Amino acid sequence: MTSVKESDVIDSLIVGAGPSGVVTLRNMRQDGRLQNVLVVDRNERVGGLWINHIPRYSTLQTLKCDWELHGVTIDENEPERRASCDSICRWVQKYVDTFMLQEYIRVNTECVHIAQDGQTKLWTCTLRDVATGHQWDVVSRSVCVCTGTENIPKIAKLPGDATAAMPIVHNISVRSATDLPKDEILIVGAGPSAMDICLEADKAGTKRIYLISRKAHFGIPDNWPIPLGSETKLLRFLFLTLMLPLWLVDLLLTIPTTMWAWWYDVPAWKPVDVYASQDYPFLMRAALLPAIRQGRLVPMIAEIESIDGDEVKLTSGTVLHPQKIVCATGWSYDYKFIPFYRNIEFDDLQLKLFARFMDIDHDGLFFVSIPASFFCVTSAADIASRAILQVLTGDWKRPSDNVIHDYINNVVRKRLALAGLYERELRDLGFVI
């Protein structure tokens, strides 16, 4: 790197102007010590992935009441418990307007490459104007990656898929109910995207909807009675107010979800040797219960054993003849602007992040969207960005390599970042949260 004037170096480049990006910007600006912060986003307005990457029918896994942050709320009354893509985009714009952040955000601008100088540890970030193609460099002390958690659609290799007479697609390619068949569909996966596809197929009147996953997940119904308003608030109450141990919280969550699955006769959603701290909590939509009772939606614990023309055989022995297979099987990350993190799996990236956001091999590189597993992305971004601020301002000191690797092996490898529990993790690591 050629010599750079101190005045030309910015404090932080934030890549992405979605919920995580604008929350990170707000926290840096509010602190007052990091004044030279720039946010870039390739879209024409703020909103991030929620603008056009995610299908319009997609809804939040977390409840919309959890998106109330720093006094900014989702105002729409419908849907009752979940918010749409458009609602999230409006929330982001409202948040930007509330804290007057627009002047620090450059839209229609893509980060195409970052590289760190081995001596100065400064980051040279190459930016590109989407409209003109013009490129220029910005030098920054830090880079905060806020590009969300969805990048490359991941479809597992299915036995016999080369012979399939029906289309096999990733859920991202299903943009509306018109993309779904009328007679029979097979949905692979059990996460929020799978639930969205099930809802769309139900609305489209698909006669038979098969939903398969390879194991019984920790499944939470979205209509269970939460006395504190949301799963996030409940977990924070249990972990931060009552200071309950992890094993007891796991037990308290497992009992009502098991009872819910038994009461509504959804055996595939009953947790079996799975706890909230160990697996992602997938929310069964209450709106799908009528379809389950009618036998139109059939959730099963099974995998595809073979595909032969128009026939699909499952490991359970069931034979199906779906008109389409939709794989709601997640994503791989493709940080094209980070040469050393192209097409990396989520589990592999997590093992490189101390405190679930700080790259252990590259000083000044942070991933703000990663910690969100069982609580709203805005809350996770708020917590992570406040911790990042303490790193950048020198209020927190990096521990020894032994402490870092012990944390990754004994915490990250063994449990998720739950609301409340994640704050306790960071406090144990010396952060003021």
Report pLDDT for 327. 94
Per-residue pLDDT band for 232 (boundaries 50, 70, 90) equals: confident
- Plot region of 309 (φ>0 → left; ψ -120 to 50 → alpha; else → beta): left
Report pLDDT for 110. 96
Q: Which of 95-99, 147-151, 373-377 has the highest mean pLDDT?
A: 95-99
Under 8 Å CB-to-CB from 7, ≥6 apart: which residues? Answer: none
Per-residue pLDDT band for 42 (boundaries 50, 70, 90) equals: very high
Q: For residue 60, give the DSSP letter.
A: -
Stated length of the chain: 433
Other Cβ atoms closer than 10 A to 262: 12
Judged by DSSP in three states, 9 sits in: coil
CA contacts within 13 A on the Cβ side of 177: 11
Identify which has the larger pLDDT, 352 or 156: 352
In whole angstroms, what is the distance from residue 250 CA to residue 257 CA? 11
The DSSP string of 357-374 is: TEESSSTTEEESSTT-SS
CA of 325: how far to CAs of 113, 199, 378, in Å?
Answer: 36, 15, 33
The DSSP string of 97-160 is: HHTT-GGGEE-SEEEEEEEE-TTT--EEEEEEETTT--EEEEEES-EEE-S-S--EE--PPPTT
In whole angstroms, what is the distance from residue 105 CA to residue 41 CA? 8
Report pLDDT for 70. 94
Q: Is the pLDDT of residue 187 over 90?
A: yes
Nearest Cα to Cα of residue 391 among 340, 350, 420, 357:
357
Q: What is the pTM of this model?
A: 0.88
Extract the tokens encoding 317.
Answer: 């022995």
Percent of the chain with pLDDT over 90: 54
Cis peptide before 79 (omega within 30 of 0): yes
Q: Which of 160-169, 352-361, 407-416 bottoms out in mean pLDDT, i.e. has the lowest?
A: 407-416
Report pLDDT for 222. 67
For 287-304, give the secondary structure using H, E and C: HHHHHHHCCCEEEEECCE
In whole angstroms, what is the distance from residue 140 CA to residue 212 CA? 46
Considering only CA atoms, give the Rg of the chain: 22
List beta partners, residue 244.
Answer: none
Report pLDDT for 272. 60
Find out whether 298 and 208 touch, Cβ atoms under 8 Å. yes
Average confidence score pLDDT of the chain: 87
Identify which has the larger pLDDT, 265 or 172: 172
Q: Is the pLDDT of residue 47 over 80?
A: yes
Under 8 Å CB-to-CB from 175, ≥6 apart: which residues? Answer: 55, 56
Q: Is the pLDDT of residue 149 over 70?
A: no
In whole angstroms, what is the distance from residue 249 CA to residue 102 CA? 41
In whole angstroms, what is the distance from residue 175 CA to residue 353 CA? 34
Report pLDDT for 170. 92
Which amino acid is present at 143?
V
**Residue matched to tokens 């009354």:** 77
Q: For residue 341, give the DSSP letter.
A: G
Nearest Cα to Cα of residue 270 among 279, 278, 259, 283:
259
Nearest Cα to Cα of residue 129 among 152, 107, 113:
107
Q: What is the mean pLDDT of residues 207-224?
A: 78
Burial code (b: 16+ CB inside 10 Å, e: under 16) for 161-180 equals eeebebebebbbebeebebb
Q: Is the pLDDT of residue 56 over 70?
A: no
Q: Is the pLDDT of residue 364 over 90?
A: yes
pLDDT in tens, 381-390: 999 999 999 9
List beta partners, residue 152.
Answer: 332
Strands 109-116 and 319-320: unpaired
In whole angstroms, what is the distance from residue 92 CA to residue 46 CA? 7
